[in-house]
Structure 1
Amino acid sequence: MSQQNHFRLDGRVAVVTGGGQGIGEAICRRLASAGAKIAVFDLSEANAQRVAKELGGVAAIGNITQEADVIRCVAEIETALGPVDIVVNNAGITGKAAKTWELEASVMTTVLDVNVTGPFMLCKAVLPGMISRKFGRIINIASVAGKEGNPTMGPYSASKAAIIALTKSMAKEVVGIGDITVNAISPAVIHTPILDGLPQSTVDYMVSKIPMGRVGKPEEVASLVHFLASNEASFTTAQTYDISGGRSTY
């Protein structure tokens, strides 16, 4: 492969959940710039349509927690763009910030549905096709909270620990079947709208743990996703890559 073709994704079909804003939007733009055909899977029709239109992709409007929506969206994407090659499970919620004994059980259920069950169902829908074609890239967006646990964010921390474990499990199930890899990325605090729903004290605590002393940028996460989605990452699977400004080093 010539140097100018490094990390190219020409012809690849990439599905990005939560692709209508924040980290997801940055990932869509980065992968599109490398030649991928983009499907913006989002609950917000306005956001999904905006990003898809700008990138010449398609908008897939659906609720990641509803299996019927997931199956429908995958079918719509494959009809419009072709078989899915790349999946980025980025959609996620933090849930209510409070101590464990102050939380309703429904908070845990809701967070796990979005952050774990949703990615599981999307992977379930696309993996048979990847296996038959012997190619696929799955990148799950986790969090350093899934490694270290953030106080007042128990459900979120638990969900991100679960997605890291799910990543490793799925990777081992498909390892050696052609060129299919499954990896996770664990960001620290990234400057996105999701921070708006958290108490400032919680945000300040998370930033205080980052040796670089700043929040990350969505584009920085997108660049790491790009590598893991590329052909160059063919010997990399079942891994969790930190992008945390030095906070997490294991």
Structure 2
Amino acid sequence: MQASIELNRTPSVQYLLRIGDTCLVLAQRLGEWCGHAPVLEEDIAMANIALDLVGQARALLTHAGQLEGADRAHDEDQLAFLRSERDYFNLTIAELPRGDFAFAVLRNTMVATLLKLLWQRLAASSDPEVAAIAGKALKEARYHQQHSGGWVVRLGDGTAESRRRAEKALQQLWLYMPEMFEHDAIDEAASASGLGPAWSELRAPWLDEMRQVLDAAGLALPPDTAFRSTGKQGRHSEHMGYILAEMQHLQRSFPGGVW
């Protein structure tokens, strides 16, 4: 069994991994919809969104490995598959179980809206590689937001059953919203260096865009709660270990294996 790598936890590396890991883990969850979506077209759409997120994760993990330094540089596969749980920095919302279709499209909308706002700001990053990644990823995030947001509106403004499911998903997912905008030293360092914005700066525009979607769906914006998830800090829910066991099985069982 392949041992876990030792991660260089510099602020710039952690900042990029927060984004890359969120994309990677959410892509894994979306992949679980393959063959299970309510209609064939949506089955294909979910898979395509997952592939877009994998592409974004690959680009960010590759660059994060380069920023680690020559003494401890890791490639995208090592960072994706050979870290221990505490060395992943994705948002907790991305690792939650698949849920029903309402849960899936609402989660996609919430994360895609955040990523769209992030990519918009990262296009002006002081790191030219990050700016180049953002230029392509922004187009994908806009589509993801529009596609998933359209479904949220259809479900919220649909049948009594679809509305009930949308309302339930909103109550469940909103608990994990505050983590997106928690401010810490990693954000401070990224903002000071020009690498990227502090995520806390995105809270107001994120709420404005989410409010537009929810208003169109006839859904009320839930109140904030005292609960705080901590995936960005490497402290995850009970679901993370299971998803990593599945993600990492082949690479750890057959070190260095390629297709």
TM score, norm. by length of structure 2: 0.29
TM score, norm. by length of structure 1: 0.30
Structure with a larger share of its residues in helix: 2
Larger RCO (alpha carbons 8 Å, 6+ apart): 2
Structure with a larger share of its residues in strand: 1
